[in-house]
Structure 1
Amino acid sequence: MELETYNFKAKKEGRHLLVFGSVHGNEKCGSQAAFKIIKEIENGTIKLTCGQVTFVPICNPKAYAKNTRYIDKDLNRIIQPHFKPKHYEEHVANQLIEVINSCDTLLDIHSMGADSLPCIFMDYLTPENIALMKVIDVPHVLAAWEEVYENNIDCQSTEHYANKVGKSVLTLECGQHNDPNAPTVAYNAIFNALTHLGITEHKPKKLKYKQEYFKFTHMFRKKEGSSFSEKWFHMQPLNQGTVIGKDQTQTYTLEKDAIMIMPALHAKIGSEWFYLAEKIDSFE
């Protein structure tokens, strides 16, 4: 299955922005925002003055059609060349790396299962990524996601691959999957990325949040018999001694204060169950 892509070029050379939506098929706000921006470029509401923008609004079409995270494998853990692809998402990953190779900056748009405010994942603290982060209106920015994995073969994400081939890249989480404001968060982020990179000369959307910064410290996978002690939410502050949950072999009790990150209420056995983070003052 060939992925549907849209490319728009200005007459003048400049930066090349790439926008991904629905890398996970049940995360549709990025697709909705991308199609809205595409329509506005096509009808002249948004005018490109320099450079180009490419959209892959639906990166995982089969999962999107079934409203599920993935079909065979989590696409955002296998973004690397697959020379003998066997699974559906491996074929998709091979197409995605081709478009990543051609861009300057990638904005990968997601949403979460847990209730949450928007946030940015910034795994690589480059000047380009930090500058782009500052024009996207989210209250929380999280760094060092890859560092909580024992083996980075388990986190071959869009960010990992894009950074590896010299691109600037951010992952935007727009809130909970069904949050009616999530497509607007995604739209404003794409719009401000276009203005930040000089691809349009429109005035950027105003920022309402003062950003706070966090660093991942731990990741826990779901085991047999795993259950949370209560319904946690993303970015929830937790105190030392809090019992997060349990499985068949242990109880998960905090040894120090932490921030709950992306509790997966419906995680599959062996997949990421929840993360912990700590607040930091700055990335610079």
Structure 2
Amino acid sequence: MLPFQAISFTTTEPGKRLIVTGAVHGNEVAGTHGIRRVIAEIESGALALARGSVTFVPITNPKAYALKRRNGDRNLNRNLQPTAPGVAPAEFEDHIANWLCPLMAQHDALLDLHSFQAQGQAFVMVGPQNNTGALEPTVHGDTERDWALRLGVKRAVDGWLGTYAKGVDERRARAERQPASEGKRHDLDAKYGVGTTEYMRSTGGMALTLECGQHDDPNGPEVAYRAIRNTLALFGLTDEPVPATETAMEGLHLGTVVDKFDRNDAFARPWQSFDPLRAGDVIGTRANGEVVRAPHDGYIVFPNALAEANYEWFYLAEATRRFNP
């Protein structure tokens, strides 16, 4: 069994309890590099903590990291929850969840650092606006928005879990029309789509996911590092000046997730995240010849040409004014 590592720094003064995670997906290492840089600065005395505490998890999924791939046994960031009492962990990610979820619950805020497969600029994913609904209730919507405006990126996206819930409903409907397959389908679970940030909000905390750019973007570690430093300053863990608010933030709201039905479904061209779409534009073609078109004007997000059947192929988003300061 590979070990888990969390590195914590605690001051004598009360303050926010922040946790920062990297490599939730094993091939997304910009956050890992950014985290290790900040740890080194704290340990050397180059960066002084003034109050509160911070916990760093440089490699959240050590199995996926060792294999240099997205997942170990499954996608940790789609069905994150501890196993029920008396139920033995079946996959490596179950062991991670049993360790990570209680750890996150000990903190007030989570900054989760990721990267993505297609080319594109860094952006931040934010939770819903304040609400008391059943899906993802929160009182931190305004705080998350203001935090997102100070991370150092120029694009923010919301709507994740609501979009996923609709996508899982559609996936279930397709599965009911198909011959039964052996084994458990995690992608049909009602909680599919709940990852680190969604779990953190379920504990009453606040959370942001920072997508630091394309996996191999050499600037990704700097994006992660700057976001950590800005967050420490914003929450008062350091006495550095509070970072300025981004005044030209582009805001987008996810509304649709589209799955691959067959691994041979193919894009019409090599899409990049946030490429604009006009209604009727050809996005791709199914293996059975069906042409997939944009249903309305908007943007394509997270296009994944390497997706397997029954997993997300791309998302559609539209502009929102939520992030205009």
Alignment TM-score > 0.5, same fold: yes
Unmatched 5+ stretches in structure 2: 130-140, 169-189
Distance 2:310 2:55 in 1: 34
Q: Deviations over 1:176-197 (max 9, x none)?
A: 0000000000000000000000
Find out whether 1:130 has 2:130 as its counterpart.
no
Q: Which residue of 1 aligns with 2:135?
A: none
Check conservation: 1:175, 1:182, Cα contact below 8 A: yes
What's the offset of the Cα at 1:134? Answer: 1.5
User: Match of 1:169, as an amino acid?
Assistant: A
Distance 2:315 2:249 in 1: 20
**1:106 alignment partner, SS class:** strand
Check conservation: 2:150, 2:246, Cα contact below 8 A: no
Q: Deviations over 1:210-239 (max 9, x none)?
A: 211110011011121300000000011011
Q: Which residue of 2 aligns with 1:240?
A: 279
**1:153 alignment partner, SS class:** coil
What's the offset of the Cα at 1:94? Answer: 1.4
Distance 1:88 1:148 in 2: 27
Aligned residues: 284
What's the offset of the Cα at 1:146? Answer: 1.1
Q: Which residue of 2 aligns with 1:262?
A: 302
What's the offset of the Cα at 1:127? Answer: 2.1
Distance 1:209 1:269 in 2: 40
Q: Which residue of 2 aligns with 1:19?
A: 20
Distance 2:158 2:49 in 1: 32
Q: Deviations over 1:95-135 (max 9, x none)?
A: 11011110000000000000010111112331221121111
Check conservation: 1:13, 1:51, Cα contact below 8 A: yes
**1:128 alignment partner, SS class:** helix
Distance 2:115 2:125 in 1: 12
Identity rate, percent: 35
User: 1:110 pairs with 107, 114, 128, which one?
Assistant: 114
Unmatched 5+ stretches in structure 1: none
1:205–1:188: structure 2 CA closer, same or farther, 3 Å change rule? Answer: farther
Find out whether 1:280 has 2:284 as its counterpart.
no
5 Å-filtered alignment, 1:1-284, equals 1-83=2-84, 84=87, 85-125=89-129, 126-149=141-164, 150=166, 151=168, 152-204=190-242, 210-224=248-262, 225-249=264-288, 250-283=290-323
Distance 1:3 1:78 in 2: 19
Check conservation: 1:78, 1:93, Cα contact below 8 A: no
- In our comparison, the structure showing a higher alpha carbon Rg is 2
Distance 1:204 1:188 in 2: 13
Moved >4 Å (runs of 4+): 204-209
Check conservation: 1:79, 1:161, Cα contact below 8 A: yes
What's the offset of the Cα at 1:208? Answer: 7.0
**2:226 alignment partner, SS class:** helix
TM-score by length of structure 2 reads: 0.84
After the TM superposition, which of the residue ranges 220-229 and 171-180 deviates more from structure 2? 220-229
Aligned alpha-carbon RMSD (Å)? 1.5
